[in-house]
Copies of this chain bind each other. A is one copy, B any other.
Amino acid sequence: MIERLDQLASCDAANDIAMERLQAARPVWVNVGVAADVIPEMGERMLLHAGPPIIWEDMSGPMRGAMIGAMLLEGWAKDESEAQKLGAGGEITFEPCHHHSAVGPMAGVISPSMPVNIIENRAPSGLGGGNRSYSNLNEGLGKVLRYGAYSPDVLERLRWMADELAPAMRKTVKAMEGGLDIKNIIARALHMGDEVHNRNLAATATLIRMIMPYLADSVSDTKVISRVANFIAGNDHFFLNLGMPAAKASLDAMANVEGCSLVSTMARNGTEFGIRVSGLGDRWFTAPAKHPAGLFFPGYGQEDANLDIGDSAIMETLGLGGFAMGGAPAIVQFVGGSTAEAIQATNEMYGITWTRSRDYTLPIFDFKGVPMGIDIRKVIETGIYPNINTGIAHRDAGIGQIGAGILRAPETPFQEAFEALTEKMSA
């Protein structure tokens, strides 16, 4: 292995270039649009999903549940059984969010009529800037589409989000001339005990603080202001669907750098876990997804849990979430573990990253930057695999979230990517 690590020594220069782009990334919330109108190459009968590519037959319960919900929402099917047939029939195209500059938490299903947050990377174009990314809007916790629920109340909420929430958010963002700097909110939230993946309390509250004056300025109906404020204020994770596309826009800027050994994507579709590596382009390296170990809501346990699911590991790919949880010890009340374990996890992650973030810092680590730029060489050399924290969906369609937990990324994708990079570099 030492020999192969030597072969990859030339990755260093490429990694520096890639990291300069990641450090320079400045994700800004610039608009709210409709998926069909704004997401690149979004087809008419296309549904985007979290993780690497997957076919209907291989989809887990919550992924199918979310697909069924999306087909009902779009009016393509009248009921569950019609949707099941349609899904299996081959008329619907299923593609990863990641193939469309998008990300979605958990099932991550984005259908054409859904509103999406639009993030623009305002870094100089010489540093990979100018790209955009997209995510749906966060529905809240519990019985929601992204956890595989599709009952009438779930769909009704999604319709309200498209009809009232999204237009209000669009006006609000437009009123903030130049948009809203998401990098700044993430940096502040890290100083307020969020790891910005499963703990978004400070980020969401800070977001509310920043947008409320503009919401009140740009929406004329106080009832709408009240309903929108109430919905956002009632959702601890509203910020997640801004943080994720912000991470995506940042990481897309460092993708496809020739010779770079840093991970540009980690994502799960509920069946498989997949990574992509900057120097290996758009190729996925996958393995069966694992079970998170965690804390369950009353009445549920490990046996009810689906495999790890969602694009939200984009937060860990950026150096947040399970990488930054030592700076956010209160997260252990939600995902399990102890303060000492949270600190230990972050310390371990410094061992597999290329550098530290310049802008995302952790006060308790003496304002050291979060571990950033997962280097597959270091992963293979140390045998330390990325630490991810995550929500847990019920394994059956139609139920929703049942807990939250922690896990390590599976080993195979990193090993195979390492082999592929060695091969490519020695070719």
Chain B neighbourhood of A229, CB < 8 A = 212-213, 215-216
Name A366's contact: one of B194, B208, B215, B338 (CB within 8 Å).
B338
Given the known interface contacts A222-B225, A339-B364, A363-B339, the answer about A204 and B209 at a Cβ–Cβ threshold of 8 Å is yes
Give complex CA distance A233, B330 in Å: 25
Chain B neighbourhood of A378, CB < 8 A = none
Could you tell me if A202 and B204 are in contact, using CB atoms closer than 8 angstroms? no
Q: A205 at the A/B interface (Cβ < 8 Å)?
A: yes
Could you tell me if A192 and B188 are in contact, using CB atoms closer than 8 angstroms? no
Given the known interface contacts A191-B193, A363-B330, A364-B339, the answer about A212 and B222 at a Cβ–Cβ threshold of 8 Å is no
Name A233's contact: one of B212, B365, B367 (CB within 8 Å).
B212
Chain B neighbourhood of A206, CB < 8 A = 201, 205
With most chain B CB atoms within 10 A of its CB, the pick from A193, A210, A222 is A193
Could you tell me if A217 and B212 are in contact, using CB atoms closer than 8 angstroms? no
Q: A371 at the A/B interface (Cβ < 8 Å)?
A: no
Q: A322 at the A/B interface (Cβ < 8 Å)?
A: no
Give complex CA distance A202, B188 in Å: 10
Q: Can you list, as one digit per residue, whether each of A219-235 has a CB less than 8 Å from chain B (1) or not (0)?
A: 11010011001100100
Interface size, chain A (Cβ < 8 Å): 37
Give A320 Cβ to nearest chain B Cβ, in Å.
Answer: 16
Give complex CA distance A208, B217 in Å: 16
Given the known interface contacts A339-B366, A339-B367, the answer about A233 and B213 at a Cβ–Cβ threshold of 8 Å is yes
Give A150 Cβ to nearest chain B Cβ, in Å.
Answer: 28
Q: A329 at the A/B interface (Cβ < 8 Å)?
A: yes
Q: A340 at the A/B interface (Cβ < 8 Å)?
A: yes
Give A191 Cβ to nearest chain B Cβ, in Å.
Answer: 4
Give complex CA distance A340, B365 in Å: 9
Chain B neighbourhood of A210, CB < 8 A = 233
Could you tell me if B330 and A191 are in contact, using CB atoms closer than 8 angstroms? yes
Chain B neighbourhood of A204, CB < 8 A = 209
Q: Can you list, as one digit per residue, whether each of A167-201 has a CB less than 8 Å from chain B (1) or not (0)?
A: 00000000000000000000010011110000001
Could you tell me if B219 and A208 are in contact, using CB atoms closer than 8 angstroms? no
Chain B neighbourhood of A194, CB < 8 A = 192
Give complex CA distance A212, B219 in Å: 14
Q: Can you list, as one digit per residue, whether each of A64-82 has a CB less than 8 Å from chain B (1) or not (0)?
A: 0000000000000000000
Give complex CA distance A193, B215 in Å: 27
Could you tell me if B202 and A212 are in contact, using CB atoms closer than 8 angstroms? no
Could you tell me if B230 and A364 are in contact, using CB atoms closer than 8 angstroms? no
Could you tell me if B233 and A226 are in contact, using CB atoms closer than 8 angstroms? no
With most chain B CB atoms within 10 A of its CB, the pick from A215, A332, A340 is A215
Given the known interface contacts A188-B201, A193-B192, A363-B339, the answer about A222 and B213 at a Cβ–Cβ threshold of 8 Å is no
Give A182 Cβ to nearest chain B Cβ, in Å.
Answer: 16
Give complex CA distance A205, B280 in Å: 42
Give A219 Cβ to nearest chain B Cβ, in Å.
Answer: 7
Chain B neighbourhood of A230, CB < 8 A = 213
Could you tell me if B205 and A363 are in contact, using CB atoms closer than 8 angstroms? no
A-B contact pairs, 21 of them (CB 8 A): A192-B192, A192-B193, A192-B202, A193-B202, A204-B209, A205-B205, A205-B208, A205-B209, A208-B212, A212-B229, A213-B229, A213-B233, A216-B216, A329-B363, A329-B364, A332-B363, A338-B366, A339-B363, A339-B365, A339-B366, A339-B367
Q: Apart from A188-B201, A338-B366, what 7 extra A-B contacts exist at CB < 8 Å? A: A191-B201, A192-B192, A205-B205, A208-B209, A209-B209, A216-B216, A217-B226
9 closest residue pairs by CB, A with B: A205-B205, A329-B363, A216-B226, A213-B230, A191-B330, A216-B225, A330-B363, A213-B229, A192-B192
